[in-house]
Amino acid sequence: MKKNRPSKERKSQILSVARTFFAKNGYAETTLDAIAHKAGVTRPRVIQLFGSKLNIYKMIAETAYQDHPMDKDLINLIKKKDDMAVFEAFAAHILHHTTKKKDREIAQILMYARLKNDRFHRIHLKKKDSLMISRLSDYIRERVKEGAFRQMDYRTIIYAYQAMITNLVIYKNILNEMEFVTIEQLSRDCARIFLEGLKCGAPQKKSNSDK
């Protein structure tokens, strides 16, 4: 058993251990006994500090990515209506901030949570994503109204771009299968690919399947 530590330090240690377990095994397969053993404390001590496994899970969700809010990277670009810069910065922020172990683990937990539609996903969206995604949604909705983007539901655009970047996090930062490209170049390419399909221009030719 490890020596006694201040409660704040011990809580931080337990959260770190739990985050790794949740990322590797998911919520259901992680036990308080495993968390306590790895952290070098007793199960009653974990319960004393957090109350339950669910409370640990919720606390990780509530504090996910709080050290690097997206607002500071996007707010000025949104005001300038620089579409390329907005989409590029959005991609770069997510890709850059999932390179460290802690943030990669949170990304992995979110993948599990989305499939299960569990509390982590819902808490994370409410605590972390709602403000910036709301602003980005308003921006995209306005650009659609202005005729800068094709006429489609702005929510489709948001979800589609998020899905694109989230999948690239898996390949780039978790599986390490995209070492051939830097995050900066990948962010530019993502923004360019997406915006070329989104921007209004000459009418697209109908494919054979549309005829």
- Residue whose pair of structure tokens reads 């707010």 in the numeric block: 75
pLDDT greater than 80 at residue 54: yes
Greater pLDDT, 79 or 7: 79
Which pLDDT score is estimated for 125? Answer: 60
Within 8 A by CB and 6+ apart from 165, the residues are 90, 91, 94, 95, 190
Q: What is the set of domains in the chain, with CATH numbers?
A: 7-63 (1.10.10.60), 71-200 (1.10.357.10)
Alpha-carbon span 30 to 87, nearest angstrom: 36
Contact 36, 45 (CB under 8 A): yes
What rounded mean pLDDT belongs to the chain? 85
Q: 199 has which bridge partners?
A: 149
Which pLDDT score is estimated for 136? Answer: 85
What are 106-161's pLDDT values in tens digits? 989 888 887 777 777 667 666 555 556 778 888 999 999 999 999 999 989 988 99
**Angle separating helix axes 7-25 and 32-39, nearest 10 degrees:** 130
Q: Which amino acid is at 43?
A: R
pLDDT greater than 70 at residue 203: no
Q: Backbone dihedral region of 24: left (phi > 0), alpha (psi from -120 to 50 degrees) or beta?
A: alpha
**Angle separating helix axes 7-25 and 43-50, nearest 10 degrees:** 100
What are 60-113's pLDDT values in tens digits? 888 887 778 787 888 899 999 999 999 999 999 999 999 999 999 998 988 888
Contact 202, 150 (CB under 8 A): no
Residue 199 — φ and ψ, nearest 5°?
-65, 145
Alpha-carbon span 186 to 66, nearest angstrom: 24
